[in-house]
């Protein structure tokens, strides 16, 4: 199964694509779609959408997973994040892919085994689970890979139980 994980952000949207059987995961691609903060917001959303469409076309994932929106004290930031998430969901729907969403707690539980894990612990476990010689430099890409791994694990369990 090929899974695209997305970590939404209006300045940096992280992505990670893995090939997995549910327990063994292999990194295919990881990175960040960066936008220029000086651009109008709608142009930044367009850039993110185009980047995601290109990734989906290039890697042809079967499913995609996105982290649920967490409630922020800053309403303006939460709204921007929701807009980016909408662009990601639209890109996924246009491609006809399966979609799943997970809370930050679920992602950390799935990858680290502890829902309150620190970023460094997530990064270490992503590196270990993907058997990488070095850690993923970008926190956004690493978070996206964690979401993809979480989905792969959940989907594998769901298939076994079905």
Calpha distance 134→90 (Å, rounded):
33
For 128, half-sphere exposure in the C-beta direction (CA atoms, 13 angstrom radius) is 8
Q: Is 7 in the active site?
A: yes
Of the candidates 67, 106, 143, 155, the residue annotated as catalytic is 67
**Residues constituting the chain:** 162
Q: Is 143 in the active site?
A: no
Calpha distance 91→89 (Å, rounded):
5
Residues 6+ away with beta carbon under 8 Å from 2: 17, 18, 19, 20, 28, 59, 60, 61, 62, 63
Reference 20, options 61, 71, 51; nearest CA is 61
Of the candidates 106, 140, 143, 155, the residue annotated as catalytic is 140
Residue 156: count other Cβ atoms within 10 Å of its Cβ: 15
Q: Is 67 in the active site?
A: yes
Of the candidates 7, 106, 143, 155, the residue annotated as catalytic is 7
Residue 154: count other Cβ atoms within 10 Å of its Cβ: 16
User: 3-state DSSP call for residue 16?
Assistant: strand
Task: List the catalytic residues.
Answer: 7, 67, 140
């Amino acid at each position: 199964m090929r899974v695209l994980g997305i970590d939404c952000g209006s300045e940096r949207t992280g992505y990670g694509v893995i090939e997995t059987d549910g327990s063994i995961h292999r990194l295919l691609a990881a990175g960040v779609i960066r936008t220029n903060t000086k651009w109008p917001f709608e142009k930044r959303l367009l850039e993110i959408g185009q980047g995601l469409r290109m990734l989906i076309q290039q890697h042809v994932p079967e499913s995609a997973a996105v982290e649920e929106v967490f409630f922020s004290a800053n309403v303006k930031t939460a709204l921007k994040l929701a807009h980016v998430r909408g662009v990601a969901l639209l890109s996924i729907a246009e491609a006809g892919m399966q979609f799943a969403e997970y809370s930050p707690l679920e992602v950390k539980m799935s990858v680290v085994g502890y829902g309150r894990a620190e970023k460094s612990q997530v990064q270490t476990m992503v590196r270990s689970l993907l058997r990488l010689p070095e850690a993923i430099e970008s926190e956004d890409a690493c978070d996206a890979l964690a979401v993809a791994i979480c989905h792969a694990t959940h989907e594998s369990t769901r298939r076994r139980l079905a």
